[in-house]
Structure 1
């Protein structure tokens, strides 16, 4: 857990979470725990060791970035001045990386969902090529950043559950269909800022859900096969889809997911209207369904 530190005047202040605070037994970290624990040990020694461990993994794969460049990780200070982050990755394959949790989880996602990360990089760099780097990022880059930072993948085989999510119908999604989780729907965390927040989870922690239609057979596959399926399908949608905006996401309070937080075993957990807000939304899912 996060440490308390003493600030001038003797007051206690909560310290920012660090590498030692990651609890790999949490369900949202399960997908990256094996590699993450190894990287965590390196990161706890030094920034140099962290990058060395990341690059050793990159060298042992054929992982590439959005324009086919071989993936590598470099210190943040090696990013040339006045160069856009996305453009640098596209041109060189090198991901500027700081010695912190945010960039640690970002790097993990390059291995967990390499096609999605490459697709985001390709679209982001294309947007920079088309519009340049101005005082504002623009709607496209904002939506890409939202996905990269805070997305969860909501894999679902039943339309009713997708509709419940888009309609803020938490009772249908989390209470009436509790048994559906793991059998007809599930969530994978993707956004690295979201994963960083979940080191010290709190009830209002909310991801932006990207809905992925999957076959019922999906839930009989191994975790690795499911992740590969999601990686390929979502990446293809990101590359081929002409429309892309923040309206394509649905908010999902992640601690409401059955099995992810002990307190949500009680139905009253979902009565908190400040977290489980009411409302309706319109729009399309990533594959065009209403």
Structure 2
């Protein structure tokens, strides 16, 4: 959350004075542009009937924004990581243009939506990655706890940011496993955007991480019995062959 702190203060102050969320966010977006023009935030009902949300953004460079926390955080991520959000939107719009809007999104759009809503990016030493992918929670949070001093975790998904305003122990991020190494600079906007390859994303390359287990994110985790909760810190199932996402707020299945 600290990543967004300065802009949270600026935008929230304007909203507290009666400005709409879309207007408050637009006041911060002057330097950002999409292919179709300068980025703007517009009222939530601005898209014409029948036009998909992502297609409308791609066509107009306008992000429909309601006066609620969910869209407030979506706007903050747009302001802080415009290249990554633009890349997500371009990929979504291309899929919509090709296949239209059906009953299901398909694997690529599912992955794009999951990362946009609930994704996170981790810059960490290899031993932390190894135990995270194995869902060895004791190894991740107890045995290798000192290594978290060398790690950085960015919550990218705006739905997860919203959930963390009222934290629950089961709040689970889906950490992107990039197609190549993401070490130094992994939380940089350009680096994240460059890692968003369609073929890779279509495999749903994410691994779950209960974020309140991260050292420093919750005072209760200083007592290691915090990690004994098997409803949140679930072991990896033998049948799993790849990091399959768990429900957005239901623990690390």
User: Which consecutive residues of structure 1, in runs of 5 or more, have no partner in the other structure?
Assistant: 1-28, 219-224, 286-290
Does structure 2 conserve the Cα–Cα contact (< 8 Å) formed by 1:70 and 1:93?
Answer: yes
Query: Where does residue 16 of structure 2 map in the other structure?
Result: 44
TM-score by length of 2: 0.89
> When the two structures are aligned, how many residues end up with a matched partner?
240
Q: Residues of 1 paired with 2:241 and 2:191: CA distance? A: 23
Q: Residues of 2 paired with 1:284 and 1:278: CA distance? A: 12
Which of 33, 42, 45 is the matching residue for 2:5?
Answer: 33
Query: Where does residue 173 of structure 1 map in the other structure?
Result: 140
Does structure 1 conserve the Cα–Cα contact (< 8 Å) formed by 2:131 and 2:140?
Answer: yes
Query: Where does residue 74 of structure 1 map in the other structure?
Result: 42
Q: How much does 1:133 deviate?
A: 1.2
SS at match of 1:242: helix
Query: Where does residue 58 of structure 1 map in the other structure?
Result: 29
SS at match of 2:200: coil
1:84-138 deviation line (CA, Å, top 9, x unaligned): 0110111110000000000000000011111110110010001101100122222
TM-score by length of 1: 0.78
User: Which consecutive residues of structure 2, in runs of 5 or more, have no partner in the other structure?
Assistant: 245-253
Report whether the alignment pairs 1:283 with 2:235: no
Q: Residues of 1 paired with 2:84 and 2:218: CA distance? A: 27
1:100-139 paired onto structure 2 within 5 Å:
100-139=68-107
Report whether the alignment pairs 1:232 with 2:232: no
Does structure 1 conserve the Cα–Cα contact (< 8 Å) formed by 2:174 and 2:206?
Answer: yes
RMSD over aligned Cα atoms: 1.9
Would you tell me which structure has more helix in proportion to its own residues? 1
Does structure 1 conserve the Cα–Cα contact (< 8 Å) formed by 2:78 and 2:85?
Answer: yes
SS at match of 1:119: helix
Query: Where does residue 247 of structure 2 map in the other structure?
Result: none
